[in-house]
């Protein structure tokens, strides 16, 4: 298993009214690294070696309700951890087993707040954001499949999504930026790289045919704000090319594990490709 999206259902363990972080991404990032260190110290050291390297994992913020800026003692919360390489996936899966740091009933520390693991999901049938896959199988479904890929690619962004470009931040999920980000991560970790011309096809041949986006901000350590987009967007090919659309659909499905844009290991850019049925449901709700 190369790719893993693990969804944890959590409940507060030791009720407290202490203020909670506005954004839990750094705490979740630290938790994932602690889990990997417990399972594989050599891998943990490698993940720490180059702070500027692409991270083969992502960690979401803690999702749920925070009345009076505190954990709800009766509340249910969700945390998502993902992996883009087999060693990281293996470390997370091992932690789910009896005696592991993520076993059911285990108590996790997030920025001084303790939460108990109530449930685990690593298959899409268990949770829409969970999943596991290999690079070969994921790419083969589109590149080797009999059915031609559809023109439309529908994406959902549930955490602020933004891109660093020319010393500026682009807070909109334009097709060129989205697929450049995904291609960079795919080519960093997959055994078979996709050509750089993928980005040119996305930029020149994909049009935005529908969107429902809002701007969201999160605080940075230095006191600034990171602004990004959340919501859904549909890209439709103006020019149909089976190969390029197969590559783009593969990358869109890869977003579940890779996140999109900057800050994925700190909870930003959480994204996934929507099925046709899910997209239609979203459109009916608008």
Q: What is the pLDDT of residue 209?
A: 97
In this prediction the pTM is: 0.94
Average pLDDT per consecutive 10 residues, the chain (286 residues; last block may be shorter)? 98 84 94 94 84 87 92 95 97 96 96 96 96 97 92 97 88 97 97 97 97 92 84 97 98 98 95 82 53
Q: What is the pLDDT of residue 216?
A: 95
Nearest to 279, CA basis, from 141, 173, 128, 123 = 128
Q: What is the pLDDT of residue 146?
A: 87
- State the number of CA atoms in the 13 A half-sphere of 237 facing the CB: 20
d(Cα 127, Cα 7) in Å, to the nearest integer? 7
Q: What is the pLDDT of residue 71?
A: 92
């Amino acid at each position: 298993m190369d790719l893993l999206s693990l969804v944890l259902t959590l409940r507060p363990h030791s009720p407290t009214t202490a203020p909670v972080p506005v954004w839990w991404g750094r705490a979740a990032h630290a938790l994932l690294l602690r889990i990997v260190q417990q399972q594989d110290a050599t891998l943990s050291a490698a993940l720490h070696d180059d702070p500027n390297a692409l991270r083969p994992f992502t960690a979401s913020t803690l999702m749920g309700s925070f009345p009076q800026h505190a954990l709800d003692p009766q509340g249910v919360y969700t945390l998502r951890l993902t992996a883009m390489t087999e060693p990281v996936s293996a470390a997370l899966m091992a932690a789910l087993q009896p005696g592991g740091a993520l076993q059911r009933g285990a108590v996790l520390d997030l920025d001084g707040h303790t939460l108990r693991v109530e449930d685990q999901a690593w298959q899409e049938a268990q949770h829409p954001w969970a999943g596991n896959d290999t690079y070969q199988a994921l790419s083969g479904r589109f590149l080797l499949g009999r059915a031609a890929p559809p023109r439309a690619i529908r994406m959902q962004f549930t955490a602020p999504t933004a891109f660093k470009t020319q010393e500026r931040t682009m807070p909109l999920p334009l097709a060129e930026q989205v697929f450049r980000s995904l291609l960079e991560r795919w080519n960093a970790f997959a055994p078979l790289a996709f050509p750089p011309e993928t980005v040119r096809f996305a930029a020149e041949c994909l049009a935005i045919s529908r969107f429902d986006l809002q701007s969201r901000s999160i605080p940075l350590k230095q006191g600034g704000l990171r602004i990004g987009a959340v919501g859904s967007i549909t890209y439709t090919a103006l020019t149909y090319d089976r190969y390029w659309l197969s590559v783009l659909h593969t990358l869109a499905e890869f977003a579940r594990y890779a996140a999109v844009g900057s800050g994925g290991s700190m909870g930003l850019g959480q994204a996934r490709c929507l099925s046709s049925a899910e997209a239609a449901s979203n459109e009916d709700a608008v």
